[in-house]
Amino acid sequence: MFQNPAHQIFMSTVYDEVAYGPRNLELSEEEVDRRVKEALKVVGLEGTEEMHPYDLDYGKRKLLTVASILSMNPEVFVLDEPTTGQDHVGRRVLSDLCIKLNREGKTVVVITHDMRFVARTAKRVVLMAEGRILKDGPVEEVLYDYETLRKAFIRPPQVVELNLKVGKFPEKFLTVDEAAEMIRGILKSR
């Protein structure tokens, strides 16, 4: 998926955009239709089949490009800055989708500066700067290495910064949900 959906979208309806790949795989029209409907449902764009792609807002156009890829059922997904232009719902859809694809055995590579998305979605992070790998490891290990993140001009999620600055929590957390759960546990134990 390209960072800018305009570099990928070229058909005149949402349906035809998502159907383009499966048709080029020479699948039956029944299979194409099934894949298009399923892909649009997964990204929350069902009901937009007859719309022109450019009648969708930017965030939905990005979701359309994801649906186009999904409809071809590849083994490897490469997503470039997928959360740019996404609202909270769109970000959640993309995060849940990446997690689901990974559980299904698919390889998902995400290029992003969105560390909240990384914290919620990734298992492994390869942190790069100026074409060099600075750190490669589990998401928690990388996001809590503040000095290495700083070298890459990346800020960790605010909740990680809070934990780093306060430093009195019994465990590390990556998301607001994890932090809230830990704080609730601390308060209940008092």
Structural tokens at position 74: 């590849």
**Nearest alpha carbon to residue 182 among 156, 159, 157:** 159
pLDDT of res. 156: 92
The span from the CA of 44 to the CA of 86, in Å, is 13
Give me the mean pLDDT over the 41-55 stretch. 96
- Owner of token pair 């930017």: 58
pLDDT in tens, 131-182: 999 999 999 999 999 999 999 999 999 999 988 888 778 888 898 999 899 8
Q: Exposed e or buried b for every residue in 132-162, given b needs 16+ CB within 10 A?
A: eebbeeebbebbbbeebbeebebebbebbee
Quickly state the pLDDT bin for 94 (edges 50, 70, 90). Answer: very high
pLDDT of res. 4: 78
Give me the mean pLDDT over the 24-39 stretch. 97
Is the alpha carbon torsion for 141, 144, 148, 149 positive or negative? positive
User: What does each C-alpha distance from 79 to 2, 32, 84, 153, 155 come to in angstroms?
Assistant: 7, 23, 11, 21, 20
Q: What mean pLDDT value characterizes the chain?
A: 93
Q: Going by DSSP bridges, is the β-strand pair 124-129/107-111 parallel, antiparallel, or unpaired?
A: unpaired
User: What does each C-alpha distance from 31 to 27, 69, 163 come to in angstroms?
Assistant: 6, 15, 49
User: What count of other Cβ atoms lies within 10 Å of the Cβ of residue 70?
Assistant: 21
User: What count of other Cβ atoms lies within 10 Å of the Cβ of residue 24?
Assistant: 9
Indicate the SS3 state at residue 85.
coil
Quickly state the pLDDT bin for 128 (edges 50, 70, 90). Answer: very high
Q: Is residue 97 within 8 Å of residue 66, measured between CB atoms?
A: yes
pLDDT of res. 15: 98
- Domain regions of the chain by residue span: 1-79, 113-190
Structural tokens at position 138: 């589990």
Is the alpha carbon torsion for 124, 92, 8, 20 positive or negative? positive
Q: What are residue 129's DSSP bridge partners?
A: 132
Indicate the SS3 state at residue 78.
strand
pLDDT of res. 186: 85
